[in-house]
Chain A
Amino acid sequence: MTIEVLGISVLWLFLFGYVIVASIDFGAGFFNASTIITKQHHVVNAVIQRYLSPVWEITNVFLVFFFVGMIGFFPKTAYYFGTVLLIPISISIILLALRGSYYAFGTYGTKGHKGYTLMYGVTGALIPASLSTALIISEGGFVKKATNGTLSLDYAALFTSPFAWSIVVLSLTSVLFISASFLAYYSHVAEDNGALKLFRKYTWIWSFPTLITALGIIIEMKWHNPAHFEGMLNLWWLFLLSAICFFISLWLLKKHSYGWSFIFVVLQFALAFYGYGTSRYPYLLYPYLTIHDSFTNQTMAIALVVVFVLGLLLLIPALYLVFKLFIMNKPYIKKGN
């Protein structure tokens, strides 16, 4: 394995980490807000608050981590993606900022403020959409390079592309699916049957749309980016395994084995995510940027890997502590302390 591949694998791992924890977070915010409207808020409120309160900051760090690591390992991405994505990513930042601060205002300040809760839900649904633009344009076809080398984003093409919209829909459905599956498990541990029933229902509602859009995107890829489609076909068995995990997770859900069901949801996404990532090798931004021509100098790469390993030695025990105290801790989940 070359150090470039090691670098991108590590970053991909962090992006995957972000996808999972942020999905739980975004979905929780969304369910929290939508149940206000459907007047079932009292059912889910306690479970959601108990999970979110101690971990909401950590979610954000995963994103920053991915992003800073990307610039560290592949400095040219700063130039390409930075130039093109000013508007979409600025929108994401604004939504993230509103969401984060409103969460803090609502949780630590004025408890139970409905406006803050609604804001938190709405932004949670919009952020995955705006962040997925980065993924969409990386498939190529939306970035124009003028003769003098200036880059710009073709907004008309982006907004009228069914491919782009499918990815937006996938990001939304999978956020709600992952989140519902986790919250079902969490309310099961809390022995909160009302919440469990509701989240079970949500998991079923969002499961098949996720699978269908994902399949749709693979097919659309054939026209949008044939090279990537070829790559995906070569890894067909990974996507098949992912689909199998999907069905196992639903079967386990039916069998009331919620912890395992959630684990299979994560496995399903991990397989699809790695399959997707591996099949697009070696492009970061098709067809301008590959992981080889944008890789940082050797010295910096080694320094970053060393720091990364040392950092993990600090992080893993710390994350374990969070798990022990809040996520796997029955008395805390049940009573909130």
Chain B
Amino acid sequence: MASFSSNEWKAVCAKFTNAQQLSDVESRTDPENDPFRSKYKARELLTEIYCSLKNFEAGDGEEHDDGETSEPEPTEEPLDGEKPVDLDAFSRGWSSDSRAGLRAARLAAVEYYLGVNHVDTEELSAGQEHLMNCMKHLGKCRVSSENVSLFIHVRNQLGILWAGRDETEKSQGFLETAESIYQRYMKENGSPPTDMTEYFCSEENQLTHQERTKKFELAYTHTLYYLAQVYQYFGENERAANYCYSTLQRQLQLNQFNPMEWALNAATLSQYYITKGQYMEGRHCLAAATVISGLAGEVPSEAAAQESEAERDRREQLKQKRSEIARCWIKYCLNLLRDAKKLLEDNIGELDTDRQDELRRARRREEEEEGRKQALLFGSEDTFDSIASVEEKVSYLFPLDFTEARAIFLVGQNYVNQAKEHFQMDGFVTDHIEILQDHSALFRALAFFEEDVERRCKMHKRRVDMLEPICNDLNSQYYLLIRRQLMFELAETYNEMMDLKLTLANRQEDSQSLDNHTIKKFNHLCSASAKYFQMFLDSLCSPEGKIPEHLEEDVLRPALVARFRVARLHSKLISSSPPVQLDNLNKALENYKYVVQYCEAHPEAAAAAETELELSKEMVGLLPLKINRLKARMATNN
């Protein structure tokens, strides 16, 4: 009988171990100009193993001479990864403890490794062929603890392969089949399955149950990870997010993760939930990220960093990644405040107290019902409590008044300071400014909840103080876009302050008799706002200072809004001198006209600034009358 002698089998096992070693370990140190040297060597060994298996064991399954294989050759099945066929795999085919079954599984495993090897060395079609051969061999077998791992692995690989060729549906088919095979196996059997490497090793080197479980679960985690990507590709975002969540949760439970990387992924996932308005989930992800990132250990001291390059890199990495998580927290606080503001504001952007009462009542009702549950839960036994205690530090409910808003603001501000420590201006200009922009946005959202107008004004002043010097220092050759953002924000902030001053003045007395100091202050805010809007508009001009005939889509609305605002600001400036008044009104008219004329020449622009356009048209009609009246008055006075 052409069966293996124990020596021959030993040689096959040794070859296999060698191939694994070459492929997984040595290949990492292959020279750059010959990057696949070890992989090619491994491929040769695998091919030899395949031949040995074919030659030596031939006859075991196919020729019925030892009476052991009573089972008939299973019929060939289509192999395109469709589900119905594969679920049959639990009831049909050779049982894996039959000789034929074992032989098929071994051949399948070698084909699998050959497939992966070819894919790794950028020979995709050959890789595909081997992987499909693996599927063919497996197709003859029934799913069992001896081969289920291979059933999953080969589908993961085919999933990757087809996705790489833009045939994502095919990929999805393989991966979803892998998923259902796993689930059915765990339901019906669940014992720790044999790993493919064990097909080629001696009895004494078999894996422990624990090791088997770990490898099997990791393969399935990969299936979920790939499915997350496939669903994302098809735009099924919610489903994809759930798969990301499951991947993270499994990593944590199976203790297969790098803390910093895991934490960053969880923090990123929090941003998904935040954009969906799911703050409870967002907070949970962030709290988990904070706790798990703590497992990565202390940041090496500066002294240690100077001693060794490894410590320097570690210090840089830890500091940076923890700051990134802090920045995700900032966004959490910011969006929570903003969404609350959106809920609470009336049609002129002020706090709607009826709405406030209504929301308070709704919240109380919910608290009484106590129907709220954690929507998702991360954590192992050790980390669970720590995660909960981080969560408690900030609410996930929309703040309904200043006190509640301030509590969230302060948490956000705290993270701002933390993030700034690493992302300093010198070295991280863009990041640093982004953090400041968030800080400013936090103040802006908080100001909405502040009832005292004077204090509200001070909050906006804080925004100006943090952004103005930077806006003026930034080199516009390299930071044009950021500068534009800053200019616009400063213009808007001054504008807001000007409005607040006006409100305040109106409250005190009738606006005709404003004192000089207030007028001066008011005019200063007005001009400052106009100045920054104008700077923004100038930044759109050509090097020769020409206004573009056509505004690009991304600056269209800002440019029209800026024009409109400049017009409005000029008409608001207070002056007792008629020539100055005339000048201001002319400037206002000129800018209103621009908005109207631009939209006439570019009809598609009208939609971008509907309200502004309507008001501008009105002003273009009214202002000339006012100007003429003023001119007439000036003429009679002379």
Question: Are A and B subunits of one complex?
Answer: no
Give the interface of A toward B (CB within 8 A): none
Give the interface of B toward A (CB within 8 A): none
